[in-house]
Amino acid sequence: MSLKVLVVGDVMTDIIVKPEGPIVWGSDRRAKIRNRPGGSGANQAVWLGAAGVPVKFVARVGQDDLATHERYFARFGVDAHLAGDAEFDSGILVTLLDQNGERSFLTDRGANLNLCSDDMSETVLDEVGLVLISGYSLFSPGPRQAVRLLLDQARARQIPIAVDPASVGFLAEIGPSQFMAWVGSCDWIFANDSEAEVLTGHADFERQVAILAKTFRNVVIKRGRFGAVLGATEGIVLSLPAPVVPVVDTTGAGDAFAAGFVCALLAGADAASCLGAGIAGGAKAVQFVGGQPQ
Contact predicate 137/147, CB 8 Å = yes
Give dist(CA 180, CA 193) in Å, integer.
17
Residues of the chain scoring pLDDT < 50: 1
Give dist(CA 193, CA 151) in Å, integer.
25
Model pLDDT, residue 40: 93
Model pLDDT, residue 90: 97
Model pLDDT, residue 250: 84
Model pLDDT, residue 1: 44
SS3 245: coil
The number of domains in the chain is 1
* 54 within domain boundaries: yes
* 145 within domain boundaries: yes
Which phi and psi angles does 219 have, rounded to 5°?
A: -120, 125
Contact predicate 71/37, CB 8 Å = no
SS3 75: helix
CATH of the domain at 220: 3.40.1190.20
Longest Cα–Cα distance in the chain: 57
Give the residue numbers spanning the domain of 189: 4-10+40-88+113-285
- Nearest CA-CA partner of 281 in 250, 258, 248: 258
Q: What is the pLDDT of residues 76-101, one digit of tens each?
A: 999 999 999 999 999 999 988 887 76
Helices (H), the chain: 40-50, 66-75, 141-156, 168-174, 176-183, 193-200, 205-212, 253-266, 271-285
* 28 within domain boundaries: no
CB atoms within 10 A of CB 153: 15
* 15 within domain boundaries: no
* 249 within domain boundaries: yes
Model pLDDT, residue 2: 65
Give dist(CA 21, CA 286) in Å, integer.
20
* 243 within domain boundaries: yes
Contact predicate 209/228, CB 8 Å = no
Model pLDDT, residue 249: 81
Give dist(CA 268, CA 185) in Å, integer.
23
